[in-house]
Amino acid sequence: MASERHVNAARSKVFGEVAELYDASRPGYADTMVTEVLEYAALGDRAAVEVGAGTGKATVPFAALGIPLVCVEPDARMAEVLRRNVAGYPNVRVEVGDFEQWQPGSRRYGLLFAASAWNFLDHDRRWGLVHAALAPGSAVALVRNPHGVHDAGLRAELAGIGDRHGITGSPHRFLASDIAGGEPGNWDQAWPDTECRRDGRFTDLRSVRFREDLRYDTDRYLGYLSSLSAYRILPDDHREQALAEAGRLLDAHGGGIDVLQVTDVFLARTR
């Protein structure tokens, strides 16, 4: 367990190496997701806290609605881009540091959300930390954007490249048909529902899913891969070789890749 925490902590700090690329290549979050979260949270005039805000992919659509936000981001380089992206929103404050060491003090929030950051938090402590940051009856929203490849043959070839270079966690490890239907936990046991139920301090658990077909051209998809922790932790030569092989493969398949992007939202409320 200690080694897993170390790996997660290390992975959470690699994005800053390519903060600008991350900001340019990562997909954003749909307005429908923001609407779903806010309707559930019923914030009123209460503030929200975002954990692992990155460069603001999920921050900006909440900030644009005037929600008072505190963004906790562990990497100062990512936070620099985040500050630039929210410069027009005086309702946003950015605090640099690990969520595990972050101190809410006397502040208690009406909503805590994390977009593609939950898995990087200390698995033994995260529910307790979330609970401590929230006022009674407040909401937690955990969001992720898994991808599924429509072309089974292309997915298999991309998976082969990943296997040769020891890459785990590539966004193309699933077929679109693997993730298209049913509840998130049916295909990925990392979904937080079971863990949250076991914790016992939360109620009104819900899972909501949105779907969108996306087309990445080769350059954008390689940029996206380059921004992922699974690729950032590779030795430079291995990463460049893996990306070059993926690029040649995508060019040979029409210059890009068609994927199903699923936005999964987990919602719960403190008792």
Q: Which residue has the higher pLDDT, 8 or 91?
A: 91
**For position 6, which CATH number holds?**
3.40.50.150
pLDDT at 33: 95
Beta bridge partners of 142: 114, 266
- The residue-averaged pLDDT of 239-257 equals 97
pLDDT, tens digit, 9 for 90 and up, residues 182-223: 666 555 667 899 999 999 999 999 999 999 999 999 999 999
Query: For the whole prediction, is pTM greater than 0.85?
Result: yes
Range of the domain at 221: 2-270
pLDDT, tens digit, 9 for 90 and up, residues 155-173: 999 999 999 999 988 889 8
Q: Considering its fold, how many domains does the chain have in total? A: 1
Q: Which residue has the higher pLDDT, 3 or 162?
A: 162
Amino acid making up residue 264: D
DSSP run (H or E) holding 37:
helix 31-41
Determine the Cα–Cα distance for residues 133 and 210; give it in Å rounded to an integer. 28
- The residue-averaged pLDDT of 224-237 equals 93
pLDDT at 87: 98
Determine the Cα–Cα distance for residues 156 and 174; give it in Å rounded to an integer. 9
Burial class (CB in 10 A: 0-12, 13-18, 19+), 117: buried
pLDDT at 183: 62
- Going by pLDDT thresholds of 50, 70 and 90, the confidence category of residue 175 is very high
Question: Is-contact 112 58, C-beta < 8 A?
Answer: no
- The residue-averaged pLDDT of 77-87 equals 98
